[in-house]
Structure 1
Amino acid sequence: MRPIPRRSLVDEAIEQLREQIDDGSWPVGHRLPAEARLAEELGMSRASVREATRALVHAGLLSSRQGDGTFVIATDEADVALRRQLGASEVVEVIEVRRGLDIAAARAAALRRTDGDLDRLAGILQRRRRAAEEGDEASFVQADVDFHVGLADASHNRTLREMYRSFSAVIGSTVELSDCRVPGSIELSHDHEDLLDVVRAQDHSAAVRAALRILDAQESAVRNRQRD
């Protein structure tokens, strides 16, 4: 009989870290405890925890940021594989796929949004506008992505929400601060605020039209950049 191979301590550490991610104890965006504390919590050596963390960084579930810590960036390897594939897509192709998702999200959000959803979306748009005023491109793009993910959350459709969250990794590739200015002006357009207004009014047809206007403008800006 062939002996059953014993699992290494690193394998056990990986499994324990995965369990924290899988059961929701560590959601996306969560910063892991410091290495020494994590090793103590898991009852393992720091070396084993370090190697396990590196393995999950390589798998795409964690991200290590120099001087800031290690963060959960995904909860499923299948999701990671999709994000990597989407990351190689052309920007215009991403926008084409977004049309289907954004139409569904805008329509469902208008029908099902709660007051809490509206408050969260309004707060994100305030953050987006503040970043635009400060010329903070990275924060602006993140707020823009957060708004559309928040709209999918407001749909209260679990499948749509998870699909959009998986897709969110490449949404930022379709957004640039300069594209969202009023032509010939430094003022930020109000297209996202208009979308939120019709979602608040529960006008699902107007919400779909508003979502499509946003994507039409982004696609036009992308094609103009490609021609330049």
Structure 2
Amino acid sequence: MTVRPVRHRSLVEEAVAELRRLVGTGEWPVGEKLPNEVELSRLLGVGRTTSREAVRVLIADGQLHSRQGSGTYVAAASPVSEFDRELRRSEAHDVYEVRAALEAEAGRLAARRRTGEDVAALRTALAARDAAADRVAFVEADLELHRLVVRAARNPVLTRLFDSFVDALRQAACFVVADDHLHVGAEEEIITRAHHALVEAIAAGDPDAATEATRANLDRTLDELRAREA
């Protein structure tokens, strides 16, 4: 006879279960915006830290999606299966191919056209990326850094392209950082160094180095995605 020990569920686990119920039963349908953190905590009867952690769990599972400056939305009625994750790797691969081309040119132009104000903003954004405490904050900080690179390129068409593409970038980036098989150990350190090299190349006005740093970052992620699809 195998008897499993009884476990007391934490408040976070209880909050996760309730959020899954609300999403899974359609009370909060796909596309619905969640209440803000204060209101959500009140509805769940828990502290803000607990509700925040519960939301992060559902974001990592692909059921919720956070949009900077807008809020958190329902993305799927149930946790993303391993099969769906494989599909999303393919989608992320497509997005990162376009991203690599767009941002390599943005980095090259930014190195030629940046101002002192641009460089200061880039260094602030890089520090925020380095200091990000969780996956959601990391993705948003990373996107903000790359948005500032595009802005420093001083090309309004490139800026519009990036802005129109940002939701797809966010979704792909959230998938990449949530996949435990991608960006582990030394890979993370290499990519972090590439981001520092990009900012310094732009600051130094070196377009070739900026392009190389962008490729060192995004091509490595593309290689990982391709390897996972093979």
The equivalent of 1:19 in structure 2 is: none
Which ranges of structure 2 fall in alignment gaps of 5 or more residues?
1-30, 40-67, 71-87
1:195 aligns with 2:198: yes
Alignment of 1:15-30 (within 5 A): none
Task: Tell me how far 1:216 sits from its aligned partner.
Answer: 0.9
Contact 2:110 2:150 in 1 (8 A): yes
Alignment of 1:1-228 (within 5 A): 64-67=33-36, 90-131=91-132, 134=133, 136-172=134-170, 173-174=172-173, 175-176=176-177, 179-180=182-183, 182-183=185-186, 189-226=192-229
Partner amino acid, structure 1, of 2:160: E
How far, CA to CA, are the matches of 2:107 and 2:191 in structure 1? 21
What SS class does the counterpart of residue 142 from structure 1 fall into? helix
Distance verdict in 2 for CA 1:169–1:66, change over 3 Å:
same
Task: Tell me how far 1:66 sits from its aligned partner.
Answer: 1.1
Partner amino acid, structure 1, of 2:116: D
What SS class does the counterpart of residue 197 from structure 2 fall into? helix
How far, CA to CA, are the matches of 1:96 and 1:137 in structure 2? 22
TM-score (norm 2): 0.56
Which ranges of structure 1 fall in alignment gaps of 5 or more residues?
1-59, 74-86
Task: Tell me how far 1:224 sits from its aligned partner.
Answer: 3.8
Contact 1:181 1:187 in 2 (8 A): no
How far, CA to CA, are the matches of 1:185 and 1:171 in structure 2? 19
Task: Tell me how far 1:171 sits from its aligned partner.
Answer: 1.4
Distance verdict in 2 for CA 1:182–1:110, change over 3 Å:
farther
Contact 1:117 1:154 in 2 (8 A): yes
Contact 2:90 2:229 in 1 (8 A): no
Partner amino acid, structure 2, of 1:124: A
Larger Rg: 1
The equivalent of 1:28 in structure 2 is: none
Distance verdict in 2 for CA 1:107–1:187, change over 3 Å:
closer
Partner amino acid, structure 2, of 1:208: T
> Considering only aligned residues, what root-mean-square deviation do their CA atoms show, in Å?
3.1
What SS class does the counterpart of residue 156 from structure 1 fall into? coil
